[in-house]
Amino acid sequence: MTPTELPADNAPAASSRTASIEFSGSKSAFTKLWLVNLLLSIITLGIYSAWAKVRNNQYLYGHTQIEGHRFQYLAKPLQILRGRIIAVVFFVAYGFISSLNPALGGLMALLLLLLMPWLIVQGLKFTLRNSAYRGVRFSFEGTYGGVFVHFLLLPIVGVVTLYLAMPWVVQRIQKYTYENATYGGKPFTLNTSAGEYYKAVLLCLGIGIAAIVVFSILMSVFGIAAVLSSASEPGYGGQMSQGAAISFIIGYLFTIICFMFISYLISAVYQGMIRNHIFNNLSAEDIFKTHSDVKLMPFTGLMITNALIVLFTLGLGYPVTRIRKQKFLAAATTVTLEPAIDHLVNTVDETHSAFGEEAAGLFDVDLSLT
Amino acid sequence: MNDQHSVTGLYQAGNSSHSTPARAMVTERQVVIYQQQGGQPVMSAVHGDYRFSEAIAGLPVDLIFADNSRFIPDDAGYRWKHLSKSQTITEWLETHWSAVLVAAVFLPFFLWFMVAVVIPASSNVVAESLPQVVADELGQQSLTIIDAAYMEPSELAASEQENIRQRWHDILQRLNIPPDTYSLQFRRWNHGANAMALADGTVIVTDSIARLMKDNPQQLDAVLLHEIGHVEHKHSLKILTQSTVTSLLFAMMFGDVEGMGEIMLGAGTGLAQASFSRDMERDADQFAFQELQSLGRSPQDFADAMRALEASHPLRIAAGQSDCTQDCDNNSTEPGFFDYLSSHPATEERIRAAEALAEKQKMQQ
């Protein structure tokens, strides 16, 4: 009784079909799951965090469905724990050596830099190979050389050109990353253009300048008002009057809030535009093609409110923000599926080291394809 | 038997994207999967020969067979009778606010215990077992950094240096400390009278403190004893291991937590470090008091030295002589670098401790 005996079921359609992405995660359920796992991780001094990671991911993946099939996160906690332990040992040795002997630490940092492409490859491999849809796993076929060129050399080009080439560099990096992902052994194609990245950056630049102009006008009006009001108060010689001190503090807070607001605004606009561009040009031959219609205004609103939630809950509101974002992005995405998706064969086996991903995480090279 | 029941769902092939609507018949002995259309059996396994996927809120628990094929129940809330205890408990915990609440109440105590007890104790053990090479390396490193970035060569007259050096050797001799394990250095520093100890036994005296205590050399002795106390207690090494252990532990506990890790990491480390360095100052003070007494001097010397130092720093006078808690605490402790004046909460408290002891000593005589 092997699965190959399964008859041609479900009468798969002969032509392509369009499907939406359903996300059924709930804020309260995910909050409970996330918090309990966080607390268990803390009281086990982090050992449980490997299980926590798997369970959090399983929740988010499992609640994402296309055509009634759930995504699956298949990583084994013990695999992650092992990778994490190796990474921690390495991290401690690095920390200790570099504080004892900066020269030796510098040498280690250089070695680490050379190791980085390998860590990135391993990390992406681990994540993608443990992601599956309809029993078929994703994978990553990037190489050390390719990652070295795209992730280490191209950013240098970006900096040398005074960031003028940076949008192009980012476009090349993302194209490389996506195009080396596979599903059921079939490679992805990403037809993005650098022009769209420049457009997004220019728009963000425009918004940023406009926002700063508006802010400066507000500030000068506010400042004049403050000066007038403090002038009317009797001040002690040389000391700031109470009114002036208060308006100074308010002005200071106002400045911080405005700049945070502007930076979230810009990053949301950029993320939304690039997300649309990527997901409107991503496909795997004969299997699927994605479409994304992220509306910038609501997306910006979502990102700013999410930032406020994280800020005012000291990070504990993270699960709520995660569900909100996931729901929003799922609703903005559709997939065109080709008949071949019903006949894919799994080409990936499950054994793969988690060290790359863990080490990459510890040394701050976080990457993901979402 | 009458114990058997059936569950509808989807049968998903193990090595391809094939799937078919199916029904799982569970009997006492085994589970058999029948295809919905036509009713053919497509898989069977006795209990124990298949495993369950994780039980997670709102998601179905799949049966996973040896060939990686799966039976996925249609009802996401359906839970199999044979599910293991640990899986059921985990899911229960994850779906009840009461569990969150209990853990949330317990957590602050746990964190306090880690920061206040476990981290200092374990870093002390590590620091004590580190070989001398580590201390030497660390001390030399710090001195290089201090010379390059903070201090200039001393401008004290050779005779003045010689006077202090003479007293320094006397102290070491009377404490039975081999003089070659310690080294006294003179430096000019723009931020006033100060003395500091490095991990390898290097003690730095700034020109200003030497001049400040020129006429009261017994005060400088008290300060030097305090610095020797830091070295004898291996405080620099403890600071190093403690910050390593703290960041390691916090990275382990919170490293995986998106959004919150950084905040907790920063707060926890800062908190632990502040209380830790206060304890170290107290230990070094105690060392100085004790050795002053065993040298036949009075802890009053230490109190006088503190007063003189406090008076020599104009900012401190502005902040009020009685109590300086916030203003003194600028926490500029570099790794392996013991600043005499910063990171001390209540200078007044330390002076009082010294004077109380001096009083007691006088009474006993």
pLDDT tens string A140-198 = 999 999 999 999 999 999 999 999 999 999 999 999 999 999 999 899 999 999 999 99
pLDDT tens string B123-153 = 889 888 988 888 888 888 889 888 988 889 9
Higher pLDDT residue, A271 or A112?
A271
Mean pLDDT calculated for residue range B77-105: 91
- Whether B105 contacts chain A with CB within 8 A: no
Percent of chain A with pLDDT strictly greater than 70 = 85
Q: What whole-number distance in Å separates Cα of residue B194 and Cα of residue B306?
A: 11
Whether pLDDT at A16 is above 50: yes
Residue B335 with chain A: CB contacts under 8 Å: 99
pLDDT tens string A310-331 = 888 878 889 999 999 999 999 9
A26, A91, A95: residue with CB nearest B58: A26
- Whether B86 contacts chain A with CB within 8 A: no
Q: Are B341 and B208 in contact (CB under 8 A)?
A: no
A49–B256: do the CB atoms touch at under 8 Å?
A: yes
A42, A70, A321: residue with CB nearest B110: A42
Whether pLDDT at A90 is above 70: yes
Q: What whole-number distance in Å separates Cα of residue B189 and Cα of residue A184?
A: 67
- Whether B13 contacts chain A with CB within 8 A: yes
Sheet-wide strand order for B41-46: B41-46, B30-35, B19-26, B5-12, B70-73, B63-64, B51-52
A88–B110: do the CB atoms touch at under 8 Å?
A: no
Residue B322 — very low, low, confident or very high, per pLDDT cuts 50/70/90? very low
Higher pLDDT residue, B4 or B170?
B170
B17–A7: do the CB atoms touch at under 8 Å?
A: no
Domain coordinates of chain B in residue numbers? Answer: 5-94, 118-364
Residue B94 with chain A: CB contacts under 8 Å: 32-33, 36-37, 55
Residue B59 — very low, low, confident or very high, per pLDDT cuts 50/70/90? very high
- Whether B144 contacts chain A with CB within 8 A: no
A6, A24, A47: residue with CB nearest B58: A24
Q: What whole-number distance in Å separates Cα of residue A98 and Cα of residue A109?
A: 9
Residue B106 — very low, low, confident or very high, per pLDDT cuts 50/70/90? confident
By C-alpha distance, the chain B residue nearest A68 is B74
Distance separating the N- and C-terminal Cα atoms of chain B: 96
Interface of A with B in 207-226 (CB under 8 A): none
B59–A63: do the CB atoms touch at under 8 Å?
A: yes
- B296 CA: distance to closest CA in chain A (Å): 39
Q: What whole-number distance in Å separates Cα of residue A346 and Cα of residue A134?
A: 10
A343–B17: do the CB atoms touch at under 8 Å?
A: yes
A24, A39, A345: residue with CB nearest B107: A39
pLDDT tens string A326-341 = 999 999 999 999 999 9
By C-alpha distance, the chain B residue nearest A63 is B59
- Whether A93 contacts chain B with CB within 8 A: no
∠A157-A113-A77 over CA atoms, to 5°?
120
**Cα distances (Å, whole numbers) of residue A69 to A57, A64, A347, B72:** 16, 8, 19, 10
pLDDT tens string B221-253 = 999 999 999 999 888 888 888 887 877 777 777
Q: Tally C-beta pairs within 8 A across A and B.
A: 189
pTM summary value: 0.78
Cα Rg for chain B, rounded, in angstroms?
Answer: 34
B10, B21, B103: residue with CB nearest A39: B103
Q: Measured in whole angstroms, how far is the alpha carbon of residue B132 from the centre of its chain?
A: 22
Whether pLDDT at A32 is above 90: yes
Residue B12 with chain A: CB contacts under 8 Å: 134-135
B54–A7: do the CB atoms touch at under 8 Å?
A: no
Cα Rg for chain A, rounded, in angstroms?
Answer: 25
Residue B259 — very low, low, confident or very high, per pLDDT cuts 50/70/90? low
- The number of C-alpha atoms within 13 Å of A120 and in the hemisphere containing its C-beta is 27
Interface of B with A in 227-246 (CB under 8 A): 240, 244
Residue A240 — very low, low, confident or very high, per pLDDT cuts 50/70/90? low
- Whether A239 contacts chain B with CB within 8 A: no
- Whether B335 contacts chain A with CB within 8 A: yes
CATH numeric code, B5-94:
2.30.29.30
- Whether B97 contacts chain A with CB within 8 A: yes
In terms of Cα–Cα distance, which of A335, A336, A274, A334 is closest to A299? A274
- Whether B113 contacts chain A with CB within 8 A: no
- Whether B333 contacts chain A with CB within 8 A: no
Structural tokens at position A232: 């009317």
Percent of chain A with pLDDT strictly greater than 90 = 51
Higher pLDDT residue, B189 or B277?
B189
Q: What whole-number distance in Å separates Cα of residue B65 and Cα of residue B302?
A: 76
Interface of B with A in 246-265 (CB under 8 A): 247-249, 251-260, 263-264
- Whether A7 contacts chain B with CB within 8 A: yes
Q: Are B115 and B271 in contact (CB under 8 A)?
A: yes
With helix as H, strand as E and coil as C, how does chain A read? Answer: CCHHHCCCCCCCCCCCEEEEEEECCCHHHHHHHHHHHHHHHHHCCCCCHHHHHHHHHHHHHHCEEECCEEEEECCCHHHHHHHHHHHHHHHHHHHHHHHHCHHHHHHHHHHHHHHHHHHHHHHHHHHHHCEEECCEEEEECCCHHHHHHHHHHHHHHHHHCCCCCHHHHHHHHHHHHHHCEEECCEEEEECCCHHHHHHHHHHHHHHHHHHHHHHHHHHHHHHHHHHHHHHCCCCCCCCCCHHHHHHHHHHHHHHHHHHHHHHHHHHHHHHHHHHHHHHCCEEECCCEEEEECCCHHHHHHHHHHHHHHHHHCCCCCHHHHHHHHHHHHHHCEEEEECHHHHHCECCCCCCCCCHHHHHHHHCCCCCCCC
pLDDT tens string B352-364 = 888 888 888 888 7
Whether pLDDT at A308 is above 60: yes
